[in-house]
């Protein structure tokens, strides 16, 4: 490996912020991506609550209370796809090489992407909770519950992003990243308790749904927003975050090194 002759930590952090700025400024010229952080969650929320809500939860109000935390989680999963998508665009388009030929900390391009992603995630969460509030959603827990819920979702997003990074490094082009993302994420997010109570499912499926980290995180979020139990589910979520990071961070970095060989 290279000896530690790179830029210092402070410089690396400044570079990370510059690169995060870049990923956010880019949004101005990619309305599709911005739509995924804005219109898609709004659409999810309106469609599921107003169309299916009455049938699934008995009333639109109950549906909103039940589904909003899960839709936040589900949307977070979809937004992570853009970490891999952006990374792949840079790798295939040559921008990554431009960065690597500059005296930039080796970890800054990736860190910049992930930092930008957290900002985008934050934006989506605020948007969803704001719209939910307009539709009549009311928190029943104290304000720290909201802070805890946002923190938990962001921590999980950070961990789950490493899977997206791996896909972004391995995929041939950005379209494949998106295709893979959506194909994998639809079953993962729908085979969960985001929209329907577990009790309504066939027995064999209940086990799968209960084990799905999306369900666990969703339950923790419900507890944090609505004042139910949440500590146990939050702890399991954190364990999942650690496990996902422990698996996909080294795999991503190894794949990246190999691709850049």
Cβ burial 164-179 (10 Å sphere, 16+ → b, else e): bbbbbbbbeebebbbe
By the rule CB under 8 A, 32 interacts with other proteins: no
By the rule CB under 8 A, 166 interacts with other proteins: no
CA distance 230 to 207: 20
Q: Is the alpha carbon torsion for 40, 46, 52, 56 positive or negative?
A: positive
By the rule CB under 8 A, 119 interacts with other proteins: no
Which lies closer to other proteins via its Cβ, residue 5 or residue 183? 5
Binders in 169-228 for other proteins, by CB under 8 A: 172
Which lies closer to other proteins via its Cβ, residue 72 or residue 105? 105
By the rule CB under 8 A, 42 interacts with other proteins: no
Q: Tell me, what DSSP letter sits at residue 27? A: G
By the rule CB under 8 A, 259 interacts with other proteins: yes
By the rule CB under 8 A, 15 interacts with other proteins: yes
CA distance 154 to 122: 8
CB of 105 to other proteins, least distance (A): 9
By the rule CB under 8 A, 25 interacts with other proteins: yes
CA distance 219 to 214: 9
Select from 24-32, 48-56, 114-122, 177-185 the region that touches other proteins (CB under 8 A): 24-32
Angle formed at CA 160 by CA 113 and CA 155, multiple of 5 degrees:
85
Which tokens sit at 50?
């107003």
Q: Which of 31, 51, 100, 144 binds other proteins (CB under 8 A)?
A: 100
User: CB–CB of 223/142 below 8 Å?
Assistant: no
CB of 119 to other proteins, least distance (A): 17
Short-list 224, 227, 203, CA closest to 73: 224
Select from 102-110, 134-142, 177-185, 196-204 the region that touches other proteins (CB under 8 A): 102-110
Residue 176's alpha-carbon distances to 99, 180, 210, 236, 252, in angstroms, are 23, 6, 30, 31, 17
Which tokens sit at 74?
């589900």
Q: Which of 31, 35, 58, 98 binds other proteins (CB under 8 A)?
A: 98
Q: Which of 32, 94, 199, 203 binds other proteins (CB under 8 A)?
A: 94
Which tokens sit at 148?
């805890």
Select from 15-23, 119-127, 175-183, 188-196 the region that touches other proteins (CB under 8 A): 15-23
Which lies closer to other proteins via its Cβ, residue 34 or residue 131? 34
The footprint of other proteins (CB under 8 A) covers 2-3, 5-7, 11, 14-15, 18-19, 21-22, 25-26, 28-30, 92-95, 97-104, 172, 258-261
């Amino acid at each position: 490996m290279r000896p530690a002759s790179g830029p210092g930590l402070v410089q690396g952090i400044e570079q990370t912020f510059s690169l995060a700025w870049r990923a956010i400024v880019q949004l101005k010229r990619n309305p599709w991506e911005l739509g995924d952080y804005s219109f898609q969650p709004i659409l999810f929320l309106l469609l599921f609550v107003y169309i299916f809500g009455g049938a699934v939860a008995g009333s639109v109000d109950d549906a909103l209370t039940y589904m909003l935390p899960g839709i936040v989680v589900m949307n977070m999963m979809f937004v992570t796809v853009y970490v891999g998508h952006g990374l792949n665009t840079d790798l295939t388009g040559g921008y990554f090489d431009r960065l690597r030929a500059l005296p930039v900390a080796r970890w800054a391009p990736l860190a910049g992407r992930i930092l930008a992603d957290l900002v985008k995630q934050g934006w989506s969460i605020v948007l969803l909770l704001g719209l939910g509030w307009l539709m009549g959603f009311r928190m029943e827990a104290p304000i720290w519950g909201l802070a805890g819920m946002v923190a938990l979702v962001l921590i999980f997003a950070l961990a789950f992003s490493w899977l997206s990074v791996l896909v972004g490094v391995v995929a041939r082009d950005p379209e494949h990243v998106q295709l893979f993302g959506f194909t994998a994420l639809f079953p993962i997010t729908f085979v969960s308790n985001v929209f329907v109570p577990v009790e309504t499912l066939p027995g064999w499926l209940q086990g799968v749904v209960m084990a799905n980290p999306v369900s666990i995180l969703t339950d923790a979020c419900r507890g944090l927003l609505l004042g139910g139990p949440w500590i146990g589910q939050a702890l399991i979520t954190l364990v999942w975050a650690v496990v996902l990071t422990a698996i996909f961070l080294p795999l991503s970095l190894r794949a990246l090194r190999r691709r850049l060989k």
